[in-house]
Structure 1
Amino acid sequence: MNAHHPPGQTAPQDRPARLTVGVVGAGRVGPVLAASLALAGHRPVAVSAVSDASLRRAAEILPGVPVVPPAEVLARAELVLLTVPDDVLPGLVAGLAETGAVRPGRILVHTSGRHGAAVLDPATRAGALPLALHPAMTFTGTSVDVQRLAGCSFGVTAPEELRLAAEALVIEMGGEPEWIDESARPLYHAALAIGANHLVTLVAQAMELLGTAGVAHPARMLGPLLGAALDNALRSGDAALTGPVARGDAGTVAAHVAQLRAHAPQAVAGYLAMARTTADRALASGLLKPGLAEDLLGVLSDTANAASATDPADASEGPEATDDGADGGDL
């Protein structure tokens, strides 16, 4: 018996029903989840990776695990993590099923927030067991993420007969399973994107504006403020709203917009959109008095109209290339 385990407890690798694990798509998420499963006693045996960044990530997080094509991953592993971008997932699943790579009894797990278990239907018809396990966490693609999974919520969707298996895998990775109905997956993912992705944009923009205003250490200034705001919002919801919009200080809001137009015109549209949404929520919750709301919304309407009258930004540039690490499951 392993000396690190108390009497009466077996080491992870000695527990029953340990599975061989494969990863298709070595972005930020897949290798981390495979490493967390390894800590629970499962055995990573294969990973697919193409780009230099993916190959490095696989080597660092899953050292010694062979890099093979996706079909070979399915041939070697009993549990396969499909950790690819949301829009790539349906085509990948269909292709694997059409080429006969899917074998009966294989557990296929995808980590897309948007999709439920139905996206795996082509593989399910070939005998695979479909699970959707989405970690509600942003990933760096490094080993530090393994520890960050402790207590992380996972959005779980699976056929009812596989629900217990899905939840058990999440618990083994240190997470907390949260059942999401198939039809609710897009809304669930939209909520997480609003909370996490937009938060990064807002914080980065705030730091830039503070820098423009002459603040030497924007992150240091924002840290305590944003930490308190997040804690208050999680505890109290709309009741945590503060600031000029919630107070109905129309003059202050107008001054903000004027300064943004002068120093950071690219921030005006976002400020107006968030101010209007904040005003609506403050009004609905009773924080913002109707009389003050009228003046405030008038200012927001006037400034929005003024902004729309200006020349539109140049939209001729095409979309940027997808980041190599932006795989399914990474918020």
Structure 2
Amino acid sequence: MPGSSAPQDTPTRPRPSGLVLVACSGGADSLALAAATAFVGARLGWQVGLVTVDHGLQAGSGQRAEQVAAWARERGLDPVEVVAVTVGTSGGPEAAARDARYAALADAARRHSAAAVLLGHTRDDQAETVLLALARGSGPRGLSGMPVHRDQAGVRFSRPFLDLPRADCRAACAAQGLTPWDDPHNTDPAYARSRVRAEALPALVATLGEGVVANLARTAGLLAQDTAYLDELAAAALGRCRTGSGLAVSALRELPAALRTRALHEWAAGLGAPRTALAHRHVETLDALVTAWRGQGPAYLPGGITVTRTADILTPAHPAAAAASGRDHPTESGAVSGKVLES
């Protein structure tokens, strides 16, 4: 882009002449990313495309999405798509919109055989994510925030601006004469992230100084490294604990808690428990079958899965098996191991 002052760092490193798709809402962050990727891509021989998702949650959302697409076509991006999605209700409005958006982006990437989908999250977004995770009592995985790269549903998602402040993206748009769209949802106090953005994080900055945003993001990066290493150790440990379709309690009991709970979490996800619904309380109840065994009943996991302990083995049962045996288990009530916990 002539006169572009957008960051010149390479957004990602797909194969030469590969296609990268930019996810662009029209906001300052993703608009700056699209402009920067077009500028860099032209010099590195990439094909650069753009996908904008219409969530249909606001009046005129379809028209705004078409405006973003028209801008991208004018800049020579190809392919350019507007994808309309239906947002469900699972997990609340923010999570449902995010799930619908990522599914649409992944589908577009697969259809076009894209090397990567680029996302416009910034250092400020990372700091907000860490604060939200801290408030929700998340463990190290939640406090690790968003990764720079993640392979999901067979697609590589990358966040090249994750170490840049949000203000740089606005400055880049202003320097290039680009007019970003400010999503009113980003300032709606009904949403937790909006409240963190408008109130909590500014209060921390006012109290502790400007460096708090970078420090929160840095903390996420350090925790991500530790978590990745522990996850590798836990995956190897899980393999040693497997016995048929179950897990050997004696082998699990020998593991340090940090590895044992990670192994149980991964095992539960492998059984089919949705990761977005698999909470600490589920893993805690599985762990109790190993470390606090008093003959208690089964652990109930998301997706209608039950896990029982018989002698030295944790054995899973799926919904179909439970139905065939006539068992009734409260998969949505939050009941685990015979007691009800608040979700």
Considering only CA atoms, is the larger Rg found in Structure 1 or Structure 2?
Answer: 1
Q: Same fold (TM over 0.5)?
A: no
Question: In proportion to residue count, which structure has more helix?
Answer: 1
Q: TM-score, structure 2 length as denominator?
A: 0.27
Q: Which has the higher contact order (CA 8 A, sep 6+)?
A: 1
TM-score by length of 1: 0.28
Say which structure is richer in strand.
2
